[in-house]
Amino acid sequence: MANDETPVKVYTRKGDGGSTALYGGMKVRKDEARIEAVGTIDELNSVIGLALVHTKTPESVFLTTVQEDLFDIGAVIGTTPGMPQPVDMEFLEWQTKEIESKIDAMSKQLQPLNTFILPGGSDASAHLHHARTVCRRAERCLVSLNEEEKVPQNIIGYVNRLSSYLFVLARFENLHAGRPDLKWEARRKSDKTDTTLANFDKKQ
């Protein structure tokens, strides 16, 4: 039986002039703060998808729910101001609390941190740290947008808590992979270096 549905093209040529349409029809430049925020949320979702390919612990399954949350957030941020929101963001209140409870549960199994750690260790941990940094950038984009237009506070709070979750999950993946955290050690000037610098100063 023939399929009578008209195929949808993935290109329209409508954005070639540097503008795009928000949900609701409003045209904006592609480099505006709102589009930067939507794009960074989308990037975060993709990086989390990559991390999921490598994660090993059952706790990481929650990241699929996070990806759905990020799609909802992107839809809200990408809606024409003043238009009814396509998604009710109230669910983020209890979703943020769920993230906090997961952070607390994993943290109980981890060694307390007494220094900064370097991103890396297992493949999963490295990708989760990458996701964490993109999440921080997404938060910065949302804060910048909030200076121009009101962003629901529960969105900013959720993204803030998500970055902490990604950090703890990265450590948790290393724990279960038998890989220690890579501790950052500040460089110290050696006596030899100090002497060399002192002699250099005297020649100036």
Which CATH number goes with the domain that contains 126? 1.20.1200.10
Model confidence at 197: pLDDT above 50: no
Given the structure tokens 């997404």, which residue do they identify? 138
Q: Work out the mean pLDDT of the chain and round it to a whole number.
A: 84
pLDDT category of residue 204 using cuts at 50, 70 and 90 = very low
Indicate whether 10 belongs to any domain: no
| Distance set, CA 57 to CA 20, 54, 64, 82 (Å) | 40, 10, 13, 42
The two counts, helices (H) then strands (E), for the chain are: 6, 4
Query: 135 versus 76: which is more confidently predicted?
Result: 135
- Tens digits of residue pLDDT in 89-110: 788 999 999 999 999 999 999 9
Quick one: pLDDT at residue 11?
A: 58
pTM of the model: 0.82
Contacts of 127 (CB under 8 A, 6+ apart): 47, 50, 51, 53, 54
In total, how many domains does the chain have? 1
Quick one: pLDDT at residue 31?
A: 63
Quick one: pLDDT at residue 68?
A: 96
CA distance 110 to 166: 14
CA distance 192 to 194: 5
Indicate whether 47 belongs to any domain: yes
